[in-house]
């Protein structure tokens, strides 16, 4: 709370010289800073690559909550259909803890994929179950995918300075218009409306590469299933932090097919 | 994407920073730069393709849109290098010189397998100040079969069928697994029991896949783009019977034909 300029009320007892201390982060996220503290040991030119030391995507998993538990998620559009898929791995760095940890959740007519820190995945899932249930009671109808996108965005932005470490993906078909809808978010709620596909998780580079090569517009439901499955499977095989089975949802206006993919178990 | 919105780190907060007047500031120079780009190599039954983009960048700046990353080293051997372009070019010059020396000393062309070992030794010679580049060596082996040799910075190497190196390697590698090595694909009607076997792929199909891989990478990786350089080694067409080989002819005869094409990629 800020000091009240009028005085009298509020936190006037706080002494003026109290310094602002940034909240202690649970995970210290360090990125390359403009003026890095110079460590004589690391100043040697023998350390080959600046990218290997401090590259944004080759960070130690303990300091990066987004890659601690591993996992991948992918959504794609087709002709009058959408698909959303995820892997099943839950790990702690290189150690696999579970091979049955789905990352796609359903809220009526909307599907939400969540990758990132597993505890936040579960927290966010129960939070949205709560919020969508309240929405359904108040509105007496199911939430639309576009509305869900804005709900996810504003919910994440509420935690702008202490974010949930998740990269959500929304998919669904608008039951009023019949229009397929997908979108993705960063961890503080910036929406990425995509016409083609959305990727998230530790295999996102691989997913981008394969999806860009395999996806084409107006795929029928069965073609879309093949495309999203091949994209996910081949990407998972090149990511040590994701895999161990997959769930694929093919969503049409009045039918949903959920398939479990058998994959390599390594 | 695993982006991070950092909380202010204690050391980076303004008040914890040494001010310009009170503390000496240490400047740092690095002998290495990263020039981006991506290369890929595919070995077929009787051909080898190494392809690379022609962008050379430093950070967000593009130094040139027409930098070639694939070099013809002589004796039917080609080399693709990605990483620091200065080191890559120096390495290519050095190996080309050694291949030429080999020909003069032994009066015969070096084989790819011998050149592969030679490149490994060349990299290891600089074990404690390595060339900052990832090389991909290609050529036809003693049986005329395509060979790709891949290396790390200090010379450990392996013969492979296909490999992508560089800033879009993570994007291209799984695509190649799927389209060249037919990973996760099964024979239709076999109910997922019989995997498709990667057989002899026709060269024109592989060239199409290579172009697709690059145009996909260009869409999502800013360090890749501008142009596609594709260098192919094939068996030379058999010489006519009446054309008797002379000593001079044999001197140049490698049994390989190298062709090079340049095609545009998106420039944004």
Could you tell me the CATH number of the domain that includes residue B184? 3.60.20.10
High-pLDDT (> 90) share of chain B, %? 81
| pLDDT reported for residue B236 | 73
Query: In this structure, is residue B5 part of a structural domain?
Result: no
Query: In this structure, is residue B215 part of a structural domain?
Result: yes
Query: In this structure, is residue B126 part of a structural domain?
Result: yes
| pLDDT reported for residue B21 | 65
The ipTM estimated for the assembled molecules is: 0.87
CA dihedral (B211, B215, B221, B222) positive or negative: positive
Q: pLDDT higher for A29 or A221?
A: A221
Question: Which residues 156-195 of chain B have a CB within 8 Å of chain A?
Answer: 168, 170-175, 177-179, 183-185, 192
Q: What average pLDDT does chain B have?
A: 90
Q: Which of B172, B218, B208 is nearest to B40 (CA)?
A: B172
In chain A, which residue's Cα lies nearest the Cα of B130? A48
**DSSP code per residue over B231-260:** EEEEEPPPPPTTSPPPHHHHHH--SEEEEE
* Structure letter (DSSP) for residue A162: S
Average pLDDT over residues A237-251: 98
| pLDDT reported for residue B240 | 58
What is the CATH code for A72-261? 3.60.20.10
Cα angle value B43/B44/B47 (rounded, 5°): 90
| pLDDT reported for residue B265 | 98
Q: What is the pLDDT of residues B43-80, one digit of tens each?
A: 999 999 999 999 999 999 999 999 999 999 999 999 99
Query: In this structure, is residue B192 part of a structural domain?
Result: yes
Is the Cβ of B104 closer than 8 Å to some Cβ of chain A? no
Contact call for A212 and B153, based on CB within 8 A? no
Query: In this structure, is residue B4 part of a structural domain?
Result: no
Number of domains in chain B: 1
Question: Which residues 35-64 of chain B have a CB within 8 Å of chain A?
Answer: none
Q: Which helix (H) or strand (E) covers residue B204, if one does?
A: helix B203-220
With cut-offs at 50, 70 and 90, classify the pLDDT of residue B239: low
**DSSP code per residue over B67-100:** ---EEEEETTEEEEEEE-HHHHHHHHHHHHHHHH
Contact call for B28 and A38, based on CB within 8 A? yes
Query: B1: which chain A residues are within 8 Å (Cβ-Cβ)?
Result: 167, 186, 199-200, 204
Average pLDDT over residues A78-106: 98
Query: In this structure, is residue B16 part of a structural domain?
Result: no
With cut-offs at 50, 70 and 90, classify the pLDDT of residue A205: very high
Determine contact, residues A160/A190, Cβ cutoff 8 Å: no
Query: In this structure, is residue B28 part of a structural domain?
Result: no
Contact call for A57 and B26, based on CB within 8 A? no
| pLDDT reported for residue A86 | 98
With cut-offs at 50, 70 and 90, classify the pLDDT of residue B255: confident
Q: What is the pLDDT of residues B140-192, one digit of tens each?
A: 999 999 999 999 999 999 999 999 999 999 999 999 999 999 999 999 999 98
Residues 6+ apart with CB under 8 A from B83: B34, B35, B131, B132, B133, B134, B166
High-pLDDT (> 70) share of chain A, %? 77
Where in the sequence is the domain holding B254, given as residue range(s)?
Answer: 36-237+248-264
Work out the minimum CA distance from A136 to partner chain B, whole angstroms: 31
Query: A58: which chain B residues are within 8 Å (Cβ-Cβ)?
Result: none
């Amino acid at each position: 709370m800020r000091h009240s300029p009028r005085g009298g009320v509020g936190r006037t007892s706080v002494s003026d010289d109290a310094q602002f201390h940034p909240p202690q982060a649970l995970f210290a996220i360090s990125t390359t800073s403009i003026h890095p503290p110079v460590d004589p040991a690391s100043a040697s030119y023998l350390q080959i690559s600046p990218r290997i030391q401090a590259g944004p995507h080759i960070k130690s998993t303990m300091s990066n909550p987004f890659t601690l538990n591993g996992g991948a998620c992918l959504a794609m559009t087709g002709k009058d259909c959408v698909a959303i898929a995820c892997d099943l791995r839950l790990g702690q760095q290189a150690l696999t803890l579970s091979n049955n940890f789905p990352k796609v959740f359903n809220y009526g007519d909307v599907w939400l994929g969540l990758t990132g820190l597993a505890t936040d995945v579960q927290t966010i899932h129960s939070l949205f179950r709560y919020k969508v249930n309240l929405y359904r009671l108040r509105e007496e109808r199911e939430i639309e995918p576009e509305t869900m996108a804005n709900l996810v965005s504003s919910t994440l932005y509420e935690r702008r300075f202490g974010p949930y470490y998740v990269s959500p993906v929304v998919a669904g078909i608008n039951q009023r218009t019949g229009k397929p809808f997908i979108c993705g978010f960063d961890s503080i709620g910036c929406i990425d409306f995509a016409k083609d596909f959305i990727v998230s998780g530790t295999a996102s580079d691989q997913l981008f590469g394969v999806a860009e090569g395999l996806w084409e517009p107006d795929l029928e439901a069965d073609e879309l299933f093949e495309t999203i499955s091949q994209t996910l499977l081949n990407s998972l095989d090149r990511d040590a932090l994701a895999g161990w089975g997959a769930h694929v949802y093919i969503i049409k206006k009045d039918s949903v097919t959920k398939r479990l993919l058998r994959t390599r178990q390594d | 994407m695993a982006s991070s919105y950092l909380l202010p780190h204690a050391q980076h907060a303004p008040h914890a920073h040494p001010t310009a007047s009170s503390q000496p500031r240490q400047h740092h120079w690095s002998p290495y730069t990263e020039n981006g780009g991506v290369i890929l190599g595919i070995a077929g039954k009787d051909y080898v393709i190494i392809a690379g983009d022609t962008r050379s960048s430093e950070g967000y700046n593009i130094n040139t849109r027409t930098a070639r990353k694939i070099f013809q080293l002589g004796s039917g051997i080609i080399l693709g290098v990605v990483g620091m372009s200065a080191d890559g070019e120096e390495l290519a010059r050095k190996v080309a010189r050694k291949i030429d020396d080999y020909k003069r000393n032994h009066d015969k062309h070096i084989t790819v397998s011998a050149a592969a070992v030679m490149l490994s030794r060349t990299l290891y010679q600089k074990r404690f100040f390595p060339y900052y580049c990832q090389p991909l060596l290609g050529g036809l082996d003693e049986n005329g079969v395509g060979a790709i040799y891949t290396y790390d910075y200090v010379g450990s190497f392996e013969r492979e069928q296909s490999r992508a190196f560089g800033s879009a390697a993570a994007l291209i590698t799984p695509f190649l697994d799927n389209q060249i090595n037919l990973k996760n694909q099964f024979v239709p009607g076999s109910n997922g029991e019989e995997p498709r076997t990667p057989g002899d792929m026709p060269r024109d199909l592989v060239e199409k896949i290579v172009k697709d891989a690059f145009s996909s990478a260009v869409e999502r990786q800013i360090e890749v783009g501008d142009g596609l350089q594709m260098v192919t080694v094939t068996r030379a067409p058999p010489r006519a019977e009446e054309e008797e080989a002379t000593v001079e002819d044999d001197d140049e005869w490698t049994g390989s034909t190298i062709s090079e094409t340049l095609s545009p990629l998106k420039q944004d």
